[in-house]
Homo-oligomer: A and B are copies of this chain.
């Protein structure tokens, strides 16, 4: 296969346009975001129409001929760039010389919170990109129907978030920019129970749900709050019940992503029993 000429100038128009996607503002204006690294880009290429443009270093084009072929098959604009130019778009360590410009993927709330939805994961005021990405990956693994990030949460198209999803961003529908009350109201109207994960004064214990009348096999929207302060009182008010992961030892709490993993998989387990 004939490769295009190598772009060696960071001043190239294509590079400068793609680099704008490093900021939230640039992503919003273009409706595009960057995915870096072979794993993310492989998943992006497998997702119909997700990739708009592909940047590879010469070394990456050599070790990943399948990316070159996919670009040619799908008429995706392919640029071969120097290592130095690639650093304008991504951390070279994580990207391994592979960066894709992708179309934003978020969908409407009403398209995912339906009467068939079994498990929805809602992030309310989650601010750490790594946590958000890890929970999207967890939700995908648990077979959840969708992930919703409320308007005050981290940008799902942030490079760290995209990387932490390990490709799951291209598997599971994501909704952004909605208020928590809007989500919980629709979930309830569609017959889902709305559970808040809350370490403090929760009404229910995840490991002893029946003792307090909680049915974890029911269709559920799980709401996870901020990593530092958890759920605010006004956010708890729009949920149906609060549930705590029991702490059997001396730790004060769990970190957000591990607590979310335990809750989400406990619902997935109960729903399949």
Which residues does A use to contact B, with CB under 8 Å? 134, 137-144, 166-168, 171-172, 207, 245-255, 257-259, 261-262, 265, 268-269, 272
22 inter-chain pairs at a CB distance below 8 angstroms, sorted by A residue, are A134-B255, A137-B251, A137-B255, A137-B258, A138-B258, A139-B249, A140-B249, A140-B250, A140-B251, A141-B249, A141-B251, A141-B253, A142-B249, A166-B251, A166-B252, A207-B272, A246-B268, A257-B258, A258-B258, A261-B262, A262-B262, A262-B265
Structural contact, A249 and B171, CB atoms closer than 8 A: yes
Q: A207-B272, A257-B257, A261-B262 are known; give 5 further A-B pairs, CB within 8 A.
A: A137-B254, A138-B251, A141-B254, A143-B248, A167-B252
Chain B CB within 10 Å — which of A140, A144, A248, A268 has the most?
A: A248
| Residue with the greatest number of chain B CB neighbours at <10 A, chosen from A139, A167, A253, A254 | A254
Complex Cα distance, B46 from A252, in Å, reads 14
| Cα separation A253 to B261 with both chains bound (whole Å) | 13
**The 3 nearest A-B residue pairs measured at CB:** A143-B248, A258-B261, A141-B251
Contact present for B166 and A250 (CB under 8 Å): no
Residues of B contacting A144 in the complex (Cβ-Cβ under 8 angstroms): 249
Complex Cα distance A254/B165, Å? 10
Report the Cα distance A168→B253, complex, angstroms. 10
A261 near B254: Cβ-Cβ < 8 Å: yes
Cα–Cα distance between A140 and B257 once the two chains are bound (Å): 16
Q: A207-B269, A207-B272, A272-B207 are in contact. Are A142 and B258 (CB under 8 A)?
A: no
Give CA–CA (A245, B137) in the complex, Å: 14
A255 touches B143 (CB 8 A): no
Q: A204 to chain B: closest CB distance in Å? A: 14
In the bound complex, what is the Cα–Cα distance between A207 and B268 (angstroms)?
Answer: 9
A50–B47 CA distance with the chains assembled, in angstroms: 53
A254 to B262, CA, bound (A): 12
Best-buried of A140, A247, A255, A257 by chain B (most CB within 10 Å): A255
> How close is A143's CB to chain B, nearest CB, in angstroms?
3
